[in-house]
Amino acid sequence: MRWDFGEEPLGETQHLAAVLRRLTSLALAQETPSPTVRELTARLAEAEHSLAEEVPASPAARVGANAEGDGRVYLDHARDIGSFNPAFPVYELTVDGDTARGSVEFPIVYEGPPGVVHGGFLAVFFDCVIQHHNCELGVAGKTTDLQLRYRRPTPLVTHLDFDIVRTVEGDRIESNARLLLGEKVCAEARMLAVAGDRANLPAVSPRRASAP
């Protein structure tokens, strides 16, 4: 049984994340000041003001002791976080028991050195795909250790493959993953996690019809 914790993102939120990611990449590639960007920024500022009036005033998530409070809805972070949050990468993942594989392409927003993915984003990527794998298999928990080895620069705007192998002993989960450009390994990760107990998960408030 899949491990879920939180509400599903709204479809419009997913669409917004994709557009913002592409727009940011385009803006970062600008050679000269653009009236299009200035106009867009003004319109976004107006939208920011309107949205601030529509959402709960408290930034705290409605989870656990705050489940009945006035905070915001908590979205499920078990899988595909990049589909609704442009700060996270988007990838494809196929699970086959204790192994998984998939693909990813990092846009310009994740650049560090010229043409290369920032190493910190690779850590985020591995954390996402490994925990996604765990959640699909229904045995997941808190990360206790994440080790990365950068074997060679990871290129931007390039199709990359990855694979994951995991083992479970008692309440301990170990996952080993690789990010590949063809047959060449760009980065490797080893993650350790403690398997959680679903019965111990805190209460999560469902999405409300309107902000309090």
pLDDT of res. 76? 95
CB atoms within 10 A of CB 152: 11
What's the pLDDT score for residue 3?
84
Whether residue 78 lies inside any domain: the answer is yes
149 in Cβ contact with 188 (< 8 Å): yes
Percent of the chain with pLDDT over 70: 99
Residue 6 lies inside a defined structural domain of this protein: no
Return the number of other C-beta atoms located less than 10 Å from residue 144's C-beta. Answer: 11
Instruction: Tally the domains of the chain.
Output: 1
- Residue 5 in any domain: the answer is no
For 105-157, give the DSSP string. ---GGGB-STTBB-HHHHHHHHHHHHHHHHHHTT--EEEEEEEEEE-S--BSS
CB 118 within 8 A of CB 111: yes
| Residue 1 or residue 85, greater confidence | 85
- pLDDT (0 to 100) of residue 200: 86
Across 75-79, 103-107, 198-202, least confident range: 198-202
Confidence at residue 182, expressed as pLDDT on a 0 to 100 scale: 98
pLDDT of res. 111: 98
d(CA 65, CA 79): 24
**What mean pLDDT do residues 181-210 have?**
92
Residue 7 DSSP label:
B
Residue 2 inside a domain? The answer is no
**Residue 100 has what pLDDT?**
98
Closest C-alpha to 137, from 1, 23, 41, 30: 1
Close Cβ partners of 54 (under 8 Å, ≥ 6 residues apart):
211
Look at residue 208 and tell me if it is in a domain: no
For residue 107, is it within any domain? yes
Task: Look at residue 169 and tell me whether its pLDDT is greater than 90.
Answer: yes
Q: pLDDT tens digits, residue range 42-99?
A: 999 999 999 999 999 899 999 999 999 999 999 999 999 999 999 999 999 999 999 9
What CATH number is attached to the domain comprising 108? Answer: 3.10.129.10
Residue type, 45: A
Arithmetic mean of pLDDT, 191-195: 95
Query: SS3 of 94, please?
Result: strand
Output the six-digit token pair for 7: 């509400």
pLDDT of residue 198: 83
Structural domain for 196, as ranges: 11-200
Separation of alpha carbons 14 and 3, rounded Å? 21
Place of tokens 């019809």: 209
CB atoms within 10 A of CB 89: 22
Q: What is the pLDDT of residue 210?
A: 63
In a domain, 39, yes or no: yes
Per-residue confidence (pLDDT) for residue 52, from 0 to 100: 94
CA quadruple 10, 45, 23, 21: dihedral sign: negative
Percent of the chain with pLDDT over 90: 91
Query: Region 158-174: what's the mean pLDDT?
Result: 96
On whether residue 41 sits in a domain, the answer given is: yes
pLDDT class of 1 with cuts at 50, 70, 90: confident
- Provide the sign of the torsion angle of the four alpha carbons 166, 169, 171, 174, taken in this order: negative
